Structure formats: C-alpha cells, structure tokens
Amino acid sequence: MATDIKDTAHAVEAAAVMRLLPARPRLLALGEPTHGEDTLLDLRNELFRQLVEQEGYRTIAIESDCMTGLVVDDYVTSGTGTLDEVMEHGFSHGWGTSAANRELVRWMRDYNDGRPASDRLRFAGFDGPLEITGAASPRQALTALHGYLSARVDADLLPCTGETLERLLGADDRWTDPAAMTDPAQSVGRSAEAGRLRLLADELVALLDEQTPHLITATSRDDWHRARLYGRTATGLLRYHHWMADTSPARMTRLVGVRDSMMAANLLAVAEQVPALVHAHNGHLQREKSTMRMGGMPLEWWSAGALVSARLGEEYAFVATALGTIRHQGVDTPPPDTVEGLLYALPEDRYVIDAGRLATTFGDTLPAHRVSPWFGYAPFDPAHLANSDGIVFVKDVPGERP
C-alpha cells in the first residue's frame, strides 16, 4: 500500500499540480484545513509565483472581505497607499497581521512595477463583508453603486436619490450590532426600511445590467466589474441581514448558505476575467456539501466550490490541503489508518498527491476519518477523495514560521 501511495506523490510544484488536471482551469482552488498558519500561506505564495511565471495566472483570490480587498488590489496594481496601510485596512478576519500575506502583497506590487496594465497581477477578496459576530452595513456597497450610476446615467432612470438611501440606511450600528447574531429580534434585517432597500438594490443592479454597453464605454471594464461587485455585495448583505432577523429553524442554515452563495458569485466574476488561484478553507472550496455544528445544531449547505464547480465544470479544479501535525494546537501524529496517517508515513515533508489514483488504491475500503482534538482544524474526509483533483500534504506545521 505505501508503495502504491508513493507512486502518486510528487514534489509540491505548480507543474505537478497542473499534471493532475485535463487542462488549465480558470479557477484553481487550493484549500487549507486550518486558518492562520503561515507555513501553509508560504506554500500558497510559492505556488502562486510559479503559476504566474509558468502558467499565465494573473489573479489570486482569498477568503477575505471583497470590499476591503479593493484596497489591496489598488495597491498592487497602481501603488495606491502604503504597504502598512494596506495590511491594516485591506484584509478581514485578522489576516492582515500575517507575515505571509504581507509578503504576498509586497511581491505582487514588485512584480507589477513597470508592467503594462494587461499583464499586472490582481488581488481579490471573495468573501462577503461578514465576520462570525455579524455582518457589515450595506451602506458602503449600496452608496458606491448608486454613486457610480448617478454620475453616468440619466437621473430619471435611477430608482431613488442618494439622500433616500441615506435615510433608509440610518446609523451603521443598527446593522452591525453583535447581539443580532444570537438574537433575531435585535436585527434590523426585516424592518420596513430594510425591505425597501432590498427593492432599491435590486433596481440599481438591474439598471447597471441594462446600461452595460454605455457604462463600459463611458468608464472602463474594470470600473464596471467593480460596480458589479458593489451590486452583488449590497444585495447579498441585505439578504444576509434579512435572515439574521429570521426566527425559524432554517435561520443558521440560510445564513451560512447565503455566505457561500456570495463567495461563489464573486468567484464566478473573477473567472470571467483571467485565470486565478483561489485560496480558502477546504470546506468552502470542496465540491461536496459543507457541514458544521453551531450552537449544538448540525448545519449542511452547498459550499462555494460546489456551486462554482456546477457552473464551470472542468474550468474549476480543487486541490485540498491535508496535514500531519499542528503540535502547538494539540494535533499530534495522525493515526496510521487515516489518509493523513498513510501520507505521514512517506519520507518527505510535502507532497502533491493524485487524489483520483489514491482513491483507486483504496478501492471500496476507505481509510478512517481522522478525529481532530482541536476545533480549529478540520481533517480531510476520505469520502471526498473521488471529488478532489489533488491533495497537497504537509507533514508538520510548526508553531512559528521557519
């Protein structure tokens, strides 16, 4: 068995990943089983550099706020701001403190310096403006979309004025109150004002679509893509707030589903432009449904990867990352009858594994599913082998960056 597995293992390089695939995908998704480990992000950075230099990839999209990600994109494409400012304001979830993320942004800016716009690298956040404690106000996205349209189309075509939007939005803390995450009664998402805003957001997005030929000519395709991002974010946030105010048993399932649906829409928009490396948790990028327990209740919903794969087919590829140990989090040597344990027995520290060939090696008897002693790490589900294009295996994740 070990010999068979070794036959499917190769050095972690972009070329080895691409050999697993029938053709270069528009979205190459690299998952991770835990967040916040620079060892995994350093590996991501190296793969992205190789994909840029060898395979023509020009965008990286990560699991971070799509709106704040515009700050990073402006910096790497045109040098707007400083690196310190970008790391402070361009990332959500606390990712801006990561040394590996800082190195990624610095390298992208250096790469772009002096290059024509058509050859520059781009950065995208593809998560919504959402944190575990709640969701952002729709103000930024909604007013940005309105501002883009009001400067370029006849005022009579607009469904409302900017003043009307401001009045309906009210104070941002009405939308961002953390209490609304656990108490639907504290959410503004089903107020009369929120209902009116959902209709206006829908009308603004429809107007943006209707005016596409004029808007691309009057501004640029990049500006139009950004306006579409504003529209997706505004409608997605208003939908998310609507479900935050829900009191039915479906509330949490709908919230996590809306989030991954927003992610998928952003990824499909990225795929329209240039080939991109996508990086996020395995659970968001896998082709299967995602599952988790929240407040003691099991949740199940279609992941962003499942939604995108259904639309793009072979233009979407998913490579999961699996790992052996995170000893500083209590994750020790994996049991030998798990996928991680079998790979841990191989001599090298890192591999790219052909998931399909590995599944064939196991036949009808899959390895055991590893159990994590730490909530922040999700072991690889052996039932997902057949629907994964590959596995990147990292033997040990040290507590500090090597």
Choose between 234 and 133: higher pLDDT: 234
What's the CA dihedral at 175, 70, 260, 320 to 10 degrees? -140
| pLDDT number for residue 111 | 98
pLDDT per position as a tens digit, 312-358: 999 999 999 999 999 999 999 999 999 999 999 999 999 999 999 99
Asked if the model's pLDDT at residue 402 lies above 70, the reply is no
CB 78 within 8 A of CB 109: no
**Overall average pLDDT of the 309-314 stretch:** 98
**Overall average pLDDT of the 47-76 stretch:** 98
Average pLDDT, the chain: 95
pLDDT band of residue 400 (cuts 50, 70, 90) is: low
CB 356 within 8 A of CB 60: no
Say if strands 9-10 and 350-353 run parallel, antiparallel, or are unpaired: antiparallel
Asked if the model's pLDDT at residue 363 lies above 90, the reply is no
pLDDT band of residue 78 (cuts 50, 70, 90) is: very high
Please enumerate, as own/partner, the contacts of 365-373 that have beta carbons within 8 Å and a separation of 24 or more: 367/337, 367/338, 367/339, 367/341, 367/342, 368/335, 368/337, 368/338, 369/338, 370/334, 370/335, 370/338, 370/339, 370/340, 370/341, 372/331, 373/330, 373/331
**Overall average pLDDT of the 152-176 stretch:** 97
